[in-house]
Structure 1
């Protein structure tokens, strides 16, 4: 199944898209990998969805990536005597350790770590920012606040702390149980970590995962922005989670932060996903708004590796249409005459390694000679990532003998992943590359391709060779 675009589409599965038939329709419409939201999926549901995705993968013959998104620490207030309370700007409102039902003056906050960490002057945003509180006093057991904006609060509403660095890690007890269940399946490719604050938050997950999944850090807190370079270095990929980021930071700063994060990931050669409310109106409407189309286009123009659908595909009325629309917008952007110039302007110099130099040379040769494709052999996925970092104008086929590598690379910009055995010798390497280029629809007899690989063959991390080859009349090499 050949895509006519480089950016990938990540679709969230949910009640509207849990059946195997629907998963296949979403894949055929353009979804390259699927997200399972562990905030809503039980372990049994997660295992069922994985089984259905793998059945679709087997029928379609293309590696499909799976991302399990851990819930992270959800901070919420307690309950009220009447289920809610009316407040007035300027009044005093207290969050405390008393588990009695709340009223218009106070409410229970079942998170001692917040009571201990919040200092006077810190902001507390309740219910996605609809209620804005400012801490005036804090003694570790209660926080006396002034109501800055908002007039209502009700049971179990979420609490955001844009100014407070919490002492707890990013993993809760639920997350640890979910992570163990995800790893036990042996079939999940990425784990997304919610509410990352510091690079240390990745340490526990990295220790438990032991390389069995890629770690995707969701950037949704100001504290993460402050240490973003360290977080990128320790992550395998990033997600720009604009929903919570837009609650904890001024909304007007989010577009600029999105661009900065995409460019930082491109410099580092790490995949980056743009997520949240991309086609929000398509939850209930068959067509998006013009603003949403522009939003998707902006992420594509910036060179993001993937763009994500959340409720649009998980619980919306038009999941297939949402995926198809996102694919059409992305394809149109990539055909825009301004697109190559924008992508090229953000290209960064390669690292001073042989493999990076090989990837740079492969792109330059392919574009200079107008070759049909770049074909890279990659066992660990590193060569594929380096090829994508160059953002070449010609297609890139990533050939791997390891299905898990091909699945993990399904989130990476421009890579068409194919599972194939290790080449037996150099002739087999070239012939196999040419045959696959033809069979996958990226070339025809008489075309030329450039092949990157490592010698000795089958040695991970040893990319050190380039070869230009003609495709012969039989689909193999003509040389």
Structure 2
């Protein structure tokens, strides 16, 4: 079927892999259901599994005939409680200690119980009056005083404290490196296996992204960087983070713990708008169809949540637990596909483009805008472009043309996979000719042969042309003959 407005899904789908989806059979089903990117969560992944699953994805993709991208989501800095011999039932108003000295786990001989924390400088980062959240915010404590290697707290919201529970510190600047030794080891494995994206957890400022980018350059990797915003520091530094990264993930899990929950929709909207303004891809993640971990269909609220992400013009929506351990992983992908397509049908197709600033291509952006506007004025037109590194395709996607699909031809499979992240972009692998006109002719012939266009269809072609022995930017309107 032609990639027209009626048949084409603009919003991309990211699927996190786990026991429910890691087999060859399930990977193939996920790709056929519409998965564009597979996410590997390195908080839970071993290196042997990582190598195996990446190679398996590549093999299944080739067999299906649809290359998908692979995102390695590295763990980042994390503060956790230590092991406890038995769960500690914290009571309202109880005085409780977090100790930086190993050996006090699970309580002590004194009246005040305690648990060890894996971050020795925590006592220096927090101050009296700060809030400590444990186990995804289910337990809440207030810092009363600090004593050498011990933080004394009062329990505000009680609960059962088990071993190795995650700690959040809303509003506290934690002096942990964003790119840890574990992250480096994991990333090297990913680079060796040819991953397409690295998602950096708990990004707080642009410097965090620059550290990872320097590391990737030293390893001669062209993997794109996805910055995950998960705490209040990231919100304060949002614009500089967006400008420094290749893409942004609104990681609503930790973000919803670190920030007041009523602020979360506002933060999401601000993040999407910042990405639209700077021409960067944006992913909405966490709890999109959470109920489908155990239920065969989503709640009405979840359907609306996905729809809002599509209305906001996000590039991608992402599944986590739904496809790692859920009972209905393929159905979850199918629901994202179905909801996205339906909402996208409401776009008017008017030539109303996003105002975007991309400093790397200021002049070329004017050409891309002209092409997108022209395509918006013609029924069932397609935008055709040619890109080696993906820059032109990213520029066109950033404008958010409301009608025409962006069909991007590239000679490199690495670029093809990275195009999977971009809204409205269909990537096609094809070698380029020395003469740009020959490349265009071969591209149109390919589209006709694969029945992606019909005779009479209008194509808005964005490309270089030879003029007096030099290449110049051009926008051409062609009719398929």
TM-score range, shorter chain: over 0.9
Q: Is the 8 A contact 1:355 1:463 kept in 2?
A: no
Of the three residues 376, 379, 388, the one matched with 1:379 is 388
Cross-structure match for 1:446? 456
Residues in 2 aligned to 1:296 and 1:127: alpha-carbon distance in whole angstroms: 26
Give CA-to-partner distance per residue, 1:167-192, whole Å, 9 cap, x none.
2211222111101111111x210011
Cross-structure match for 2:129? 121
Give CA-to-partner distance per residue, 1:208-228, whole Å, 9 cap, x none.
111520000111111111101
Please give the residue correspondences for 1:45-84 in structure 2 after superposition, counting only pairs within 5 Å: 45-81=49-85, 83-84=86-87
1:463–1:201 distance in 2 versus 1, CA, 3 Å: farther
Correspondence 1:109 to 2:117: yes
Give CA-to-partner distance per residue, 1:351-378, whole Å, 9 cap, x none.
5722101110001111223352000111
Q: Flag as ranges the 4+ runs of structure 1 deviating above 6 A.
A: 343-346
Residues in 1 aligned to 2:290 and 2:406: alpha-carbon distance in whole angstroms: 32
SS of the residue 2:54 aligns to = helix
SS of the residue 2:263 aligns to = helix
TM-score, normalised with respect to structure 2: 0.92
SS of the residue 2:265 aligns to = helix
Correspondence 1:436 to 2:451: no
Q: Is the 8 A contact 2:17 2:38 kept in 1?
A: yes
Q: Which runs of 5+ in 1 are unaligned?
A: 473-479
Structure 1 position 442, deviation (Å): 3.6
Structure 1 position 72, deviation (Å): 1.4
Count of residues in Structure 1 that have an aligned counterpart in Structure 2: 463
Please give the residue correspondences for 1:96-175 in structure 2 after superposition, counting only pairs within 5 Å: 96-100=99-103, 101-103=105-107, 105-139=113-147, 141-175=149-183
Q: Is the 8 A contact 2:460 2:477 kept in 1?
A: yes
Structure 1 position 77, deviation (Å): 1.0
Q: Is the 8 A contact 2:279 2:356 kept in 1?
A: no
Q: Is the 8 A contact 1:371 1:450 kept in 2?
A: no
1:470–1:161 distance in 2 versus 1, CA, 3 Å: same
Q: Is the 8 A contact 1:350 1:357 kept in 2?
A: no
Q: Is the 8 A contact 2:279 2:358 kept in 1?
A: no
Residues in 2 aligned to 1:32 and 1:453: alpha-carbon distance in whole angstroms: 26
Give CA-to-partner distance per residue, 1:101-124, whole Å, 9 cap, x none.
232622211211212211112211
Q: Is the 8 A contact 2:276 2:356 kept in 1?
A: no
Cross-structure match for 1:365? 374
Structure 1 position 254, deviation (Å): 0.8
Cross-structure match for 1:300? 310
Structure 1 position 36, deviation (Å): 1.1
Give CA-to-partner distance per residue, 1:127-164, whole Å, 9 cap, x none.
11111111122255221212222233222111011121
Cross-structure match for 2:228? 218
Correspondence 1:24 to 2:28: yes
Q: Is the 8 A contact 1:198 1:227 kept in 2?
A: yes
Correspondence 1:356 to 2:361: no
Correspondence 1:93 to 2:100: no
The farther-off stretch of 83-92 and 189-198 is 83-92
The farther-off stretch of 390-399 and 52-61 is 52-61
